[in-house]
Structure 1
């Protein structure tokens, strides 16, 4: 039996998880996520204030500087620029711009099989 993992359901996104406290049935997946490029990003708790999000959304606009595309905004009277490279650095993703941003269905299924999942992947569950 799998236990429910509690989280603040009012937020619905952008929440970190302590991969050391996942149910036993998910320890292999947690170990894999922890050692993957996204491990730091998934486990690191960052406080983001609603007023900062509102400021960002009200002032955000696309910007290109030296062929580097990003989003420029003013948050609490401070100009910020969010770029792919900045996100990679802050979240310690250990990747680069040449890495693929999407995988084929076969690559995804091979990944699941490599983690030990078995079964008929051709059927959709409803």
Structure 2
């Protein structure tokens, strides 16, 4: 899977309601160790603003919509809008990101290949740039 690649998840259409799934290794390039979700984000708020040294992540908009903004070490931003539960965004390690522009009732599902480790977070963009360029 390529850096910041959008992943189209399988859809099973049914008149009673549709179903989407993901499984390793077909749609996700890592075994899932942790799952968390972000919800009830007040209008105008931003979540994230960090990178991970080791963690890979897949993000899905289970409900509503939001933007994932990736900032390269040179400051260039790449914006991806997630608004369908059958689309996901793959973020490899060392990807600086934040989430913004949450719609009402948006739910962001995060699938991770690591347990929570406070030490894995890079919260200072200058340190991130040094690590990426070093």
When you count helix as a share of all residues, which structure comes out higher? Answer: 1
TM-score range, shorter chain: under 0.3
Using CA pairs under 8 Å that are at least 6 residues apart, name the structure with larger relative contact order, 1 or 2.
Answer: 2
What TM-score does the superposition give when structure 1 sets the normalisation length? 0.23
Which protein has the larger Cα radius of gyration, Structure 1 or Structure 2? 1
When you count strand as a share of all residues, which structure comes out higher? Answer: 2
What TM-score does the superposition give when structure 2 sets the normalisation length? 0.22
